[in-house]
Every structure is written in C-alpha cells, then in structure tokens.
C-alpha cells in the first residue's frame, strides 16, 4: 500500500466531511498532572489518520478522552472539546460514545481472556441491538480473520498474541463503528503479523470506516495513513501528509528505522529524544 495515495471514501453525513474533531484539548490526571496541553486533531470522513509519539507522549490519554474512559484513571478534561459526527461528545458516557459509533482497540489488547472467542465478539456487539447487523459484522470479522473462524469456541486466553490482537480488532468491529481508534496494534507483534494487521486496517478503512491509528511504529502507520500527527509530551509538534513526514529529517531520525520490527523504543532512545525536543517544537 502506498502512503496517502488512496482517495478517501466519500463523506456520508453532513458535518463538513469531518468525522472527529478534537480542539484545544487539555487533560489533567489526579487534578494536578497536566498531560495534554491543548492538542487539536482531525479525522476526516473515511480517512486513516496516524497519531505518532514516543512513550508517555499522551497518545493513550488522547484516546481515553475521546472514548470517555478518563474517569477510571482519575483524569479530567479541563479545556477544549471533542466533536464526533456533528455531536459534542466531550465528557459523554463511554456507552453513549460507543452507541454514537466510536469503537476502540485498547493498548495491550485487553481481550476477555476467560471468555471464548465468540463470547468476546458478542461482548463487542453489546450496544449493537440489530440482529442482522450483528450477524453481518460477525461474518465479516470471520472473513477478515480466518484464524478466529477456526477457534470460535476456544477460550480467548489461549490464543497467540497475534490472534488476540485480531480478536481485539474483531471485537471492536462488532458494533459496526463509524470511527475505529486503535492504540498501538503492532505492539509486540512479529514483522509479518504487523504487516497483516496493517493490511487489515486498510481493508477496514476501505469498507467505509474512518480510522485513528495510534502508533510508535511510524513506518507502519505512515505507510497507510492519509494524514499524520506527531505528539510530544502532551503537544502536537508536527502534522502533515505522510510523504512529508516520512521525508522530514527529525521524524526520520527519531521515528523511523529505530523500531522497524514494531519493537518499543529503548529507554535510552526516549531520553535522547526528550533532550533534543526543544528545537523540534
């Protein structure tokens, strides 16, 4: 897949072609730790948008803010707002946000290990009360992930890492989302599996679902994204189309080649990066 060459799917609803719009978002943990310092980002209808950043940049926090899951982590939105599909979802309940059409694949997969593959998928379809839609979503997930089709009745905890990631993505697809947010889906997977997951994200996007892809593996993410954002200690430091980002010297130095295998950057790399960040922003 060439980076950013594919035309975006046609906009379906009347919100000016923007599926998700995050403006000036500020998030504080435990009332004191300011983690997001006024970030803005946009996911146009039918596109794949990559959100890149090193450990601790605030990528997961951004996803929690969008999906309403900050409260369990004692986090609060102190400024800014989030508009999804024309609706203000800032501080909405996670269940309502899911019902509006945002699904997420959480960092670390977080599948229900004690449940079977089928039960995980049915849990993912919890808010999808239209039987036919659920049936269609299920068939599609089985098509996308043949390994899951063979193991419908197995306990999810016994699946391999790659299969668990497939299940996590499949589970998110069961509610038939308009926007899919994935938090580091390539984490801990072998290069071949990373490629497989990448191709599946493209397939999902081509079926009409907008995608916000959070990654540390910039190579992978930028190879399929229409647009990319780079985040650094709670701020957006750069954004642009993938070619531009891929050519950028700073991005090259800090994000590419360092972890082509989908491995996490080493601690030393992170420290190095932080030291150099002043002139980057």
Partner 1 sequence: MTPDILILAQEAGEQSKLAATIWDGLSLGAIYALLAMGFVIIFKATQVLNFAHGALAALGAFFVASFATIIDVPGRWMPDAPAWLTWSLAVLLALIAAAVVGMVLERLFLRPMVGEELFAVAIVTLGIDIVVRNITNDWIGTDIRPLGDPWGTNFFDLGLLRIAHTEIAQFVVSIVLVVGIALFFRSRTGIAMRATAFDQEAARAQGINVGKIFAISWAIGAVLAAVGGIFASTFPRRIGVDQATAFFAFKAFPAIILGGLDSIVGAVIGGFVIGLAEAAAGTYLEQFEFLGSGFGGVVPYIVMLIVLLVRPYGLFGTEEIRRV
Ligand X SMILES: Nc1ncnc2c1ncn2[C@@H]1O[C@H](COP(=O)(O)OP(=O)(O)OP(=O)(O)O)[C@@H](O)[C@H]1O
CA distance 206 to 217: 21
Q: Which of 19, 22, 25, 35 binds ligand X (CB under 6 A)?
A: 35
Q: How far is the CB of 162 from partner 1 (least distance, A)?
A: 19
**Where does this chain touch partner 1 (CB under 8 A) — which range of 66-74, 201-209, 242-250, 253-261?**
66-74
Which among ligand X, Mg ion, partner 1, none contacts residue 56 (Cβ within 5 to 8 A by kind)? ligand X
Question: Can residue 30 be called a binding residue for ligand X (CB under 6 A)?
Answer: yes
Residue closer to partner 1 by CB (options 110, 271) is 110
Which CA distances in Å does 189 have to 39, 195, 229, 263?
A: 29, 10, 23, 8
Q: How far is the CB of 141 from partner 1 (least distance, A)?
A: 14
| Residue span 67-96 as binding mask against ligand X, x where in contact by CB under 6 A, dash where not | ------xx----------------------
Residue closer to ligand X by CB (options 17, 56) is 56
**Beta carbons within 10 angstroms of residue 154's beta carbon:** 14
Which among ligand X, Mg ion, partner 1, none contacts residue 236 (Cβ within 5 to 8 A by kind)? none
Residue closer to partner 1 by CB (options 63, 236) is 63
**Where does this chain touch partner 1 (CB under 8 A) — which range of 20-28, 120-128, 144-152, 224-232?**
120-128
Q: How far is the CB of 72 from ligand X (least distance, A)?
A: 8
Q: State the first-to-last Cα distance of the chain, in angstroms, to the nearest integer.
A: 30
Residue closer to ligand X by CB (options 13, 55) is 55
Residue closer to ligand X by CB (options 107, 243) is 107
**Where does this chain touch partner 1 (CB under 8 A) — which range of 4-12, 26-34, 118-126, 217-225?**
118-126
Report whether 121 contacts 164 (CB < 8 A). Answer: no
* Environment class of 28 (CB within 10 Å of its CB; exposed 0-12, middle 13-18, buried 19+): middle
CA distance 110 to 268: 28
CA distance 113 to 111: 6
Long-range contacts of 116-121 (CB under 8 A, 24+ apart): 116/152, 116/153, 116/154, 116/155, 116/156, 117/148, 117/151, 117/152, 117/153, 117/154, 117/156, 117/159, 117/167, 118/152, 118/153, 119/156, 120/156, 120/167, 120/170, 120/171, 121/167, 121/170, 121/171, 121/174
Which are the contacts of 130, defined by CB distance < 8 A and separation ≥ 6? none
* Sign of the CA dihedral with 94 first, then 95, 98, and 103 last: positive
Question: Can residue 34 be called a binding residue for ligand X (CB under 6 A)?
Answer: no
Question: Can residue 60 be called a binding residue for Mg ion (CB under 5 A)?
Answer: yes
The residue ranges that bind partner 1 (CB under 8 A) are 67, 69, 72, 94-95, 97-99, 104, 106, 110-115, 119-120, 122-124, 126-127, 171, 175
Residues of the shown chain interacting with Mg ion in the complex, contacts defined by CB under 5 A: 60, 107
Binding site for ligand X (CB under 6 A): 29-30, 33, 35, 53, 55-61, 73-74, 107, 216
């Amino acid at each position: 897949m060439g980076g950013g060459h594919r035309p975006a799917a046609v906009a379906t609803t009347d919100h000016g072609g923007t599926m998700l719009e995050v403006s000036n978002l500020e998030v504080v943990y435990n009332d004191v730790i300011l983690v997001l310092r006024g970030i803005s980002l946009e996911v146009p209808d039918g596109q794949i948008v990559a959100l890149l950043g090193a450990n601790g940049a605030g990528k997961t926090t951004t996803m929690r803010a969008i999906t309403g899951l900050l409260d369990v982590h004692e986090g609060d939105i102190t400024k800014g707002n989030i508009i999804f599909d024309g609706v203000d979802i800032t501080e909405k309940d996670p269940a309502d946000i899911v019902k509006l059409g945002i699904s997420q694949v959480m960092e670390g997969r977080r599948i229900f290990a004690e449940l079977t593959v089928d039960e995980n998928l049915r849990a993912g379809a919890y808010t999808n009360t239209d039987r036919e839609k659920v049936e269609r979503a299920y068939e599609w997930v089985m098509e996308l992930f043949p390994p899951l089709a063979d193991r419908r009745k197995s306990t999810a905890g016994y699946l391999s890492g790659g299969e668990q990631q497939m299940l996590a993505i499949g589970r998110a697809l069961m509610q038939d989302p308009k926007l899919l947010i994935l938090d580091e889906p390539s984490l801990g997977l072998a290069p071949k599996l990373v490629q497989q997951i990448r191709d599946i994200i493209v397939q999902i996007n081509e079926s009409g679902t907008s995608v916000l892809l959070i990654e540390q593996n910039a190579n992978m993410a930028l190879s399929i994204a229409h647009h990319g954002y780079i985040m650094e200690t709670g701020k957006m430091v750069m954004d642009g189309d993938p070619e531009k980002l891929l050519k950028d010297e700073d991005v090259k130095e800090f994000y590419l080649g360092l972890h082509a295998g989908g491995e996490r950057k080493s601690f030393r790399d992170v420290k190095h990066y932080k030291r150099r960040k002043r002139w980057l922003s």
